Structure 1
Amino acid sequence: MEFPAQYILFLILSPVVTIVSLGVILGLARRYPSRPTRLLTYLALTIAGWLVFNSLELAASSPEASVFWAKVSYTFITLTPVAWLAFALQYTGNVRWLQRDRFFIFFLVPVVVTLSAYTNELHQLLWREYIFTPVSIFLAFSVEHGPFFWLHIVHSYVLVFTGAFLIVRQALRTFAVYWRQASYLIVGALVPVVTNIFYLINPIPAIKKDYTPISFAISALVLTIGVVRDRLFDVRPVARDLLVDSMGDLMLALDRQGRIIDLNPAAEAALQIEARQIVGKTAATALATHNVLAQYIAAAGEVEDEINLEFDGRQHYFDLQISQLLNRRGQERGQLVVLRDITARKEAEAELQHYAAQLEARNRELDAYAHTVAHDLKNPVTAVVGYAEYLQEISSDAKAHAVADRIIQSGHKMQSIINELLFLSVVRTKDVAVEPLKMETIVAEAAQRLENDIAMLEAEIHYPSRWPAAYGHAPWVEEVWVNYLSNALKYGGRPPKIELGAEMLQAASNTVRYWVRDNGSGVAPDRRNRLFTLFERLDEAASDGHGLGLSIVHRIVTKLGGEVGIESPEGEGSLFWFTLPAEGHHS
């Protein structure tokens, strides 16, 4: 005996579920337009067609009308598994199967079965015999199935189970932090499968009505709720595959009990562990061979550090970051561990440090050599100058006087070079105490050392009314002024017009800038960056420069914590500047 209530309930639920699911899903498609929501809409439409025409079949007043609506409903019955599979393939990232040249094969059986339904009277391949049983006010329609029906059943079950398997597998592989999203996927995938299995097994013989289309509608509605409430299509399990699995960084996820729930292929390969062997185990157990990492994880806190792990027979260095995994309510669901391999960078840094140490050692050797050579040359040059001066005193020959004068001039120039070489080597190696500078006095002493050149060239020098206070080492700063003033006298206009100045830079920099401006022809742009290197002269054609002065300036100022530079528009003279820490701001 059949229960009429099962048919009444179907007729009540069918329009309600159809209207609700269609309304919600169509609204979803407008609000969240995307390929997955569009395929979910197609699924909802096939289910709605199945429900509508199945209801008309049940409510038909004659056997002929019931058969007609049954035939029409097969268009949607056969397409629903195809739409379900299309959604599952898209959602799980298997989009290559959605290409037309591949996916069209899934339509072959629906087309054949639907055509056989409309032409069944000619061949009885779908239904061999119709049986109509009055149940209260309803005309229950049952049939003896033919071979095409079983073809449809096999095809539909393969598609439905494949789609369900893909979705459930992806849901189970996602992080525990997304458990709510995973639950929507599992429920949405299993509801129609379980319902249809119940119908085929028929454990209650009195219940004959197939509620599979309603279960499909409920499934689509559950997935829609997942989209609206938890943005199911924004953070999909497939995103985990595309992003996490393709990461070059090592990634592990742990639950609140410290058990590993996920890791990516990079972590498996580097740590030489397999996911299937360690998922579900605690970090202490799973990472026993990497005790340092296990200890960081066991500390259970936010971590940013560098660690080294040994595998592949050598040490590897990693940037380690451990952060909390939070759910939508901000509650902790576990830990996310990310390790970025920085071995190449650390090795490059070590190599660079090695080269820097070698370079520093060579520089010390060169300074020592220059100091030794300059020191050893100083006494012989002094003796040569002394003999030349003695020769001038004892000789009355004019030619001898001229030769002696040239020897003396060359000797003084050699003494200048020697002194500068000695000074250059001392600046690099010697540490001096800095103190407040009396810049006006220092500049006056520098000018006094050059008074003969100033007088001879009839140079005009302008000084500022006040000098901002700075810190430095007075003898060294005097050498800076001497070199800058000497260059301005040599390469400035004729007669030289020289302006000295100073200014406090922006308060944030806490530095004072001093400068010397000349009225020369300026310096070509391609030579400005090289001026402060060894043996670079302002004027290549000049014979009285040896290219040490500005390199001494650079070394002195750098040692005192300042900078040097030049501003030189061609044809408008040059402004050479240097900076020093302002008084009260030295380190």
Structure 2
Amino acid sequence: GAMALLAHYAWRHRTAHPAAPAFVWLILPVAVWLVAYGFEIMGSDVATKGAWETVIIVSLAWLPFFWLVFAIQYSGQEAWLTRRNLALLVLPSIVTTLLTLTNPLHGLVWTDITLDGSGPFLATVPLRGPWFWVHSLLGYSYILVGNGLFVVFISRSAAIFRRQGLAVVLSSMIPLLGNALHLTGMVPVPGLDPGAFAFALSAALMAVALFRYDLLVVVPVAQRVVLDHLLEGVIVLDPHDRILDINPAARRMLHLGPGELAGQLAAAVLRPPEILTHCAVPGQEPERILVARGDVQRWHEVLALPMTATHGRFAGRILVVRDVTEARAVELLRQDLARITVHDLRNPLNVVSAGLEVLADASPGAIDQRLDSFVQLARSGCRHALDLVNSILQVSQLESGQVPLNRQPIQAARLITEVAQGLGLLALESELALEVEVPAGLPLVWADEALLLRVLENLAGNAIKFTPPGGRVSIAARPLEDALLVQVSDTGPGIPRELEGRLFEKFSAGPGPKQGSGLGLAFCRLAIGAHGGRIWIEDSSPRGTSVHCTIPLCDGQSGVAD
């Protein structure tokens, strides 16, 4: 039963590890041996017991071969398994099988079979022939070579893979010991072959390796080759933040020496400590960390990815570290260039706008009606251009951290009401219902009032702009433990799927005549982020969109209103 379970598990994971098929073939002759030995014990005459002894020896003939192939594949030495080498390795198993099946003709495997009734059951006692000892010597050699491969693999692997390999090596040594006791006649129970029971215990250890350490699910060999040649740094942590593996790129980026790091707590090794605190929750947006060594400073982007094992069990996380120093320098240069360009554009636009305002306010009759229409068009276009220029400047200033936050206690309910009142006429003209859902007694938020007001205006204005007549737009707020959650929902067409992943990036605007500059949501993201909050899309189905953002509460306030 244990052998069948192990074979079934390995077969289900045959695509997860290159050694899985060889493991299945290894289990099959063990299962045959155990079943045949049971029938041999129940036999009562030489002919019956001799037939089952033949089955047992044939099954044992293939065990060393499959064990060695399994060890070679699991340790990452598949290149050794050429057709020529496989043919040489399998030759002893084929010869033993043929000699066993034809043994009555030559007696090379056993010369005679007798029965021993001195024990608790009628035992089979074959008198071994010369080829049996030759095959035993070759079989032990195969198994010891396989164990040697596992020992080498263990010495070069991370902690979790060491436990895997150790369980496998121990499981292989138990049947060897049992078989040695049987061949030397040192078994306490007369006639009993302990090999079958040794393999049952071996199966239990294999089960530990399979189910506890995910022997055939984790692929350590391929990951070793890939990790060693990656330009990105990779750090593998267990659920307790102990280092399982770290590649050379991560050592180089974080200035870690060549010493052994596997098994050490990441908090005691990794510098700066922000690497762990920023990546405490796997799956979040990557964080940029400054790593300094002497006068040299490098910027690194760190992303945390969750690892899951069998049945979705959390197995730790993987930290991916990228050196973004040069990319950040280019980005800052581009931002500076954009800021200077836009700033230089604003002055002439202001002059043009002022001139157009003078013409538009001229006394009736000063300019004819046709020229007046052109002035109004130019005036509208100039205002749009100035709004765009100002938006780009504000976004650039937020990105570079040049906007000082004038934070103070603010009643968010008052701001939401002001926004709803200011946009009420626009909602009415668009034939929309604008609803406000704000409970009484909301706690105060710690925010810059001007920035927060603009964020709310952007979010509600977008919802009104893209919701068709007859729809509904709602602004709601509710307290969380340490922040205020603001939700702006609409019954519009939703956000196109191809735009969802980059919605809060600069110049991301959806298709259609109502698209804006693509800077409004980027501004909202930067403004909310500057406050230490988050902004995200909760739903973007064809029935509408719901944008959520959090704003920190004032110190000393809980999320429960008084």
TM-score by length of 1: 0.50
Task: Return the offset for 1:77.
Answer: 0.4
Q: Which has the larger radius of gyration?
A: 1
Which of 318, 322, 335 is the matching residue for 1:340?
A: 322
| 1:80 corresponds to 2:63 | yes
Shift in CA distance, 312/119, structure 1 to aligned 2, threshold 3 Å: farther
- Using the alignment, how far apart are the partners of 1:128 and 1:209 within structure 2? 20
* Alpha-carbon distance between aligned partners in 2 of 1:447 and 1:121, rounded to the nearest angstrom: 126
CA distance in 1, matches of 2:365, 2:140: 104
Q: Distance in 2 between matches of 1:326 and 1:451?
A: 75
Match of 1:427 in 2: 348
Counterpart Cα distance in 1 of 2:96 and 2:321: 55
- Does the C-alpha gap of structure 1 residues 470 and 349 become closer, same or farther in structure 2, counting only changes over 3 Å? closer
Q: Which amino acid aligns with 1:345?
A: A
Q: Distance in 1 between matches of 2:14 and 2:262?
A: 36
Could you tell me how far 1:110 is from its partner in structure 2?
0.8
One-letter amino acid matched to 1:24:
L
Read off the aligned partner of 2:5 and give its amino acid letter: V
Residue 200 (1) aligns with residue 121 (2): no
**Corresponding position: 1:252 with 2:173:** no
Contact 1:66 1:141 in 2 (8 A): no
Q: 1:508 maps to which residue?
A: 461
Q: Does 1:307 align with 2:289?
A: yes
- CA offsets, 1:168-207, max 9 Å, x none? 776787766xx5x976764354224223224415695534
Give the distance between the partners of 1:228 and 1:277, measured in 2 at CA.
27
Partner residue in 1 for 2:124: 140
How far 1:75 moved relative to its partner? 1.7
Structure 2: how far apart are the matches of 1:46 and 1:130?
23
Report what 1:395 is aligned to.
none
Preserved CA contact (<8 Å) 2:232 2:249: yes
Q: Are 2:245 and 1:262 aligned? A: yes
The answer to whether the Cα contact below 8 Å between 1:25 and 1:221 also exists between their aligned partners in 2 is no
Deviates more, 1:246-255 or 1:227-236: 227-236
Partners of 2:380 and 2:463 lie apart in 1 by 10
1:61-80 map, 5 Å: 61-63=44-46, 65-80=48-63
Partner of residue 536, structure 2: none
Where 2:193 maps in the other structure, the secondary structure is coil
d(CA) in 2 for partners of 1:452, 1:142: 120
The number of equivalent residue pairs is 394
Q: Tell me, yes or no, if structure 1 residue 211 matches structure 2 residue 211.
A: no
What's the CA shift for 1:235?
Answer: 3.8
User: How many Å apart are 1:241 and its aligned residue?
Assistant: 3.4
* Percent identity of equivalent pairs: 21
Cα–Cα, structure 1 residues 241 and 210, in superposed 2: closer, same or farther, change >3 Å? Answer: farther
Q: Distance in 2 between matches of 1:220 and 1:200?
A: 18
Counterpart in 1 of 2:368?
451
Matching of residues 393-542 of structure 1 within 5 Å: 426-427=347-348, 443=360, 445=362, 450-451=367-368, 508-509=461-462
Shift of 1:109: 1.1
Counting only pairs closer than 5 Å after superposition, residues 91-240 of structure 1 correspond to structure 2 as 91=74, 93-98=76-81, 100-120=83-103, 125-127=108-110, 132-136=115-119, 137-144=121-128, 146=130, 148-164=131-147, 186-200=166-180, 204-207=186-189, 209-216=192-199, 219-220=202-203, 223=206, 233-238=216-221, 240=223
Q: 2:11, 2:24 within 8 Å by CA — same for their partners in 1?
A: no
Q: Which residue of 1 aligns with 2:456?
A: none
Residue 48, structure 1, aligned to residue 67, structure 2:
no
Distance across 1 between alignment mates of 2:297 and 2:175: 56
Q: Secondary structure at the match of 2:231?
A: coil
The CA RMSD over aligned residues, in Å, is 5.8
Query: Deviation string for 1:501-531 (max 9, x for gaps)?
Result: x99899734999xxxxxxxxxxxxxxxxxxx
SS in 2 for 1:278: coil
Distance 1:33 1:344, change over 3 A: same
Q: Specify the SS of the correspondent of 1:293.
A: coil
Structure 1 residues 209-262: Cα deviation after superposition (integer angstroms, max 9, x where no partner): 333344435545665687678865444444643664554321234568865442
Aligned-partner SS, 1:196: helix
Match of 1:24 in 2: 5
For 2:196 and 2:84, the matched residues in 1 are separated by: 29
| Distance verdict in 2 for CA 1:473–1:206, change over 3 Å | closer
1:108 Cα shift? Answer: 0.8
Pair 1:293-2:272 in alignment: yes
Whole-Å Cα distance in 2 between the matches of residues 155 and 447 of structure 1?
112
1:279 matches 2:259: no
Amino acid at match of 1:77: L
Asked whether the equivalents of residues 126 and 149 of structure 1 are also in contact (C-alpha less than 8 Å), the reply is yes
Letter in 1 for 2:326: A
Matched residue of 1:206: which SS? coil
Counterpart secondary structure, 1:252: strand
> Per-residue CA shift, 1:92-115, capped at 9, x if unaligned?
554444554543332111112233
* C-alpha contact 2:236 2:317 (8 A) present in aligned 1: yes
Structure 2 contact 279–303 (Cα < 8 Å) conserved: no
Q: What TM-score results when the alignment is normalised by the length of structure 2?
A: 0.51
Tell me the secondary structure at the aligned position of residue 190 of structure 1.
helix
Rounded to whole Å, the distance in 1 between the matches of 2:314 and 2:31 is 41
Query: Do the aligned partners of 1:175 and 1:253 also contact (CA within 8 Å) in 2?
Result: no
Counterpart-to-counterpart distance in 2, 1:203 and 1:431 = 108
- Secondary structure of the 2:288 match is strand
Q: Equivalent residue for 1:400?
A: none
Corresponding residue for residue 516 of structure 1: none
1:525 is aligned to: none
Change (3 A) 1:117 1:272: farther
Q: Could you say what secondary structure the match of 1:135 adopts?
A: coil
Contact 1:47 1:217 in 2 (8 A): no
Deviations, residues 89-142 of structure 1 (Å, cap 9, x unaligned): 455554444554543332111112233334556666544676654334413314
Q: Structure 1: 5+ residue runs without aligned partners? A: 1-19, 365-423, 478-501, 513-561, 568-574, 582-586
1:319 to 293, 301, 306: 301
Q: Which residue does 1:397 correspond to in 2?
A: none
Equivalent residue letter for 1:194: I
The code of the aligned residue for 1:74 comes to: I
In the alignment, is the contact (CA less than 8 A) between 1:184 and 1:222 conserved in 2? no
Deviation string 1:442-485 (CA, Å, 9 cap, x unpaired) is: 7574995642976xxxx9x7999xx9x999979x99xxxxxxxx
CA distance, structure 2, for counterparts of residue 123 and residue 312 of structure 1 = 80
